């Protein structure tokens, strides 16, 4: 399989419509790839909190339209990164905001939407401005099943185990990860690959968002934890990689650690009563 990760910038000086067109042209240039991946919140910038509301779109809004067409023109599976999605309120009107990823098939149909489960920011930013998703999402491609997660989700291994249990062999993680914690990004991408014996395709953002320098360093890791490709830095870059999806099954068969899982360990354990 060939995948292209588009590490793009969300510069405040670039009008969002121009960026959509520019990114769509880049997607079209990837014709011949099997899968193209974009980063998190590339229309607003992942740290441009004040733009989440004004830049929000319905699921089938302008980004959806432009990306569906680009996927179809290029004939690729497209993980179009995420958008600030304005959900519907139960009685009509404006509902909550979600950080929602869109995945398109090569005929331009929406194959899946994933609302980010772990919101970043503790008591500010995304954590208070957006609502959490609740559903794990996998998508069957001809060669592999992808499991999707977004940025901060990378810190929560149980989410990835859920994806693996649902059949995921290739874990796709769009992000807007800050430079300050770049070492965590690389470490966690490799850890998720090793522990799940899966490919990890993690696509970061270039440049600076709302004053927050981005790590860039998009990365592709194989099921043995080896780095197959890594962006040179935090500038815009197209990272293209060839990988063999069958290696996931081979790795899981040859080193069957996933079969040794002991389930049901989440509950806190009480100490055994003393027998003296």
**C-alpha–C-alpha distance, residues 148 and 160, integer Å:** 9
Q: Which residues contact 235 (CB under 8 A, 6 or more apart)?
A: 7, 206, 207, 216
Q: Least CB distance from residue 127 to ligand AKG, whole Å?
A: 9
Q: Least CB distance from residue 46 to ligand AKG, whole Å?
A: 5
Out of 40, 57, 85, 237, pick the active-site residue: 40
Identify the residue whose tokens are 């004939």. Answer: 75
Question: Could you please report the per-residue DSSP string of 106-169?
Answer: TTS-EEEEEE-SS-SSTTSTHHHHSPPP---EEEE-SS-EEEE--GGGGG-HHHHHHHHHTT-S
Q: What are phi and psi of 137, to 5 degrees?
A: -130, 125
Identify the residue whose tokens are 């998009």. Answer: 218
**C-alpha–C-alpha distance, residues 63 and 68, integer Å:** 8
The residue (of 2 and 155) whose beta carbon lies closer to ligand AKG is: 155
- The single residue among 2, 28, 155, 247 that binds ligand AKG, judged by CB under 6 A, is 155
- Under rule CB under 6 A, residue 72 binds ligand AKG: no
- The single residue among 55, 133, 176, 204 that binds ligand AKG, judged by CB under 6 A, is 176
- The single residue among 26, 149, 151, 241 that binds ligand AKG, judged by CB under 6 A, is 151
The question of whether 151 is a catalytic residue gets the answer yes
The question of whether 124 is a catalytic residue gets the answer no
Q: Least CB distance from residue 81 to ligand AKG, whole Å?
A: 12
- The single residue among 21, 22, 60, 181 that binds ligand AKG, judged by CB under 6 A, is 181
Out of 151, 169, 203, 230, pick the active-site residue: 151
**C-alpha–C-alpha distance, residues 215 and 43, integer Å:** 18
- The single residue among 177, 192, 194, 214 that binds ligand AKG, judged by CB under 6 A, is 177
Catalytic residues, which ones? 40, 116, 151
Which residues of the chain form contacts with ligand AKG (CB under 6 A)? 46, 120, 151-152, 155, 176-178, 181, 184
């Amino acid at each position: 399989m060939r995948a292209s990760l588009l590490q793009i910038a969300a510069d405040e000086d670039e009008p969002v419509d121009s960026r959509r067109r520019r990114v769509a042209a880049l997607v079209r240039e990837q014709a011949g790839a099997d899968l193209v991946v974009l980063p998190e919140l590339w229309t607003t910038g992942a740290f441009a909190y004040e733009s989440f509301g004004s830049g929000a779109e319905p699921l089938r809004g302008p980004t959806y339209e432009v990306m569906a067409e680009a996927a179809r023109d290029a004939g690729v599976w497209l993980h179009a990164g995420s958008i600030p999605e304005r959900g519907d309120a139960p009685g009509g009107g404006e509902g909550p905001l979600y950080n929602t990823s869109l995945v398109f098939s090569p005929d331009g149909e929406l194959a899946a939407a994933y609302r980010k489960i772990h919101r970043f920011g503790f008591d500010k930013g995304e954590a208070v401005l957006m609502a959490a998703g609740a559903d794990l999402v996998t998508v069957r491609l001809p060669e592999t099943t992808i499991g999707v997660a977004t940025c901060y989700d990378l810190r929560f291994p149980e989410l990835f185990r859920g994806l693996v249990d649902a059949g995921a062999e290739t874990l796709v993680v769009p992000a807007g990860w800050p430079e300050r914690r770049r070492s965590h990004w690389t470490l966690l991408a490799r850890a998720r690959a090793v522990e799940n014996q899966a490919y990890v395709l993690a696509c970061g953002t270039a440049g600076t968002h709302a004053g927050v320098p981005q790590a860039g360093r998009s990365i592709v890791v194989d099921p043995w934890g080896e780095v197959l490709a890594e962006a040179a830095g935090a500038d815009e870059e197209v990272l293209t990689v060839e990988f063999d999806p069958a290696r996931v099954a081979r790795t899981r068969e040859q080193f069957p650690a996933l079969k040794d899982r002991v389930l049901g360990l989440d509950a806190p354990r009480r100490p055994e009563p003393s027998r003296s």
